[in-house]
Amino acid sequence: MSEIDKTFTGSIAEVYESCFVPLIFAPYARDLAPRVAAATPRRVLEVACGTGVVTRALRELLPPSAEIVATDLNQAMLDVAAKVGAAGKVEWRQADATALPFADASFDAVVCQFGVMFLPDKAKAFAELRRVLRPGGMLHFNVWDRIGDNEFTDVVTEALATMFPADPPRFMARTPHGYHDRQAIERDLRAGGFDKAARIETIAKRSRAPTARHPAIAYCQGSPLRSEIEARDAARLGEATDVAAAAIERGFGAGPVDAKIQAHVVVAER
């Protein structure tokens, strides 16, 4: 994984929140947050919180007395999260999920939506998340399934390959959709100390947008894919967005557009 894959800087965070969150992240936040809230945890840690879509859903579901600490490696994402806000008190904090600044056994639940894929050493990260969980506490996370089961992502990736055939941008396949093997997930959880069998459920949902251009902007300008495009030729970002939009329109129409997304939801007990 390159450093580009982990960097959400500049306007990426704003586009991520305005375009990407409703497109693919909100549907799974509405699935993940109730799973966490069902156990009525008193203290929750969220890692790789992004711009806070799960955080906001948790704040609405948990009682006001519950503490939520939401962390992310990228300050730009936290700045947007804090600006959008939540329905109650949240502690926003910059932190590395592999070296958390919290005491052992200090949280009832740890949650991570679509962030585990970005962690370079999965077993080490799981061990760190387990460390801050109280005995009996639950780790909840989700990861994207293979890119072929996520239609907009697949179409955009293939379209951009026609622009840069000698060096196609592969961020989406490499990182967001690079950790979909269920056996690998189970193996890394065991290596991280989660010795009880994890529950893994594969869930398909729909990704919807008013026009074909909307997801094109989300993918090309609201993720590290933007940095990957600009590393090849910064002057072609607009062209790349146009190419992606045209490919989505060919496959799904001009709009409204509707495509399949699919992810694994994982629950592991300390």
| pLDDT per residue as tens, the chain (270 positions) | 555 544 565 689 999 999 999 999 999 999 999 999 999 999 999 999 999 999 999 999 999 999 999 999 999 999 999 999 988 899 999 999 999 999 999 999 999 999 999 999 999 999 999 999 999 999 999 999 999 999 999 999 999 999 999 999 999 999 999 999 999 999 999 999 999 999 999 999 999 999 999 999 999 999 999 999 999 999 999 999 999 999 999 999 999 999 999 999 999 999
Phi, psi torsion values for 116, nearest 5 degrees: -60, -35
40's CB contacts (< 8 A; 6+ apart) are: 62, 63, 66
> Domains, the chain, ranges and CATH?
3-269 (3.40.50.150)
Helices of type H across 93-140: 122-131
138 closest CA partner among 107, 113, 98: 107
DSSP reduced 3-state for 154: helix
CA distance 52 to 181: 26
pTM comes to 0.94
CA distance 105 to 162: 50
The pLDDT of residue 11: 82
The pLDDT of residue 86: 87
Phi, psi torsion values for 203, nearest 5 degrees: -125, 125
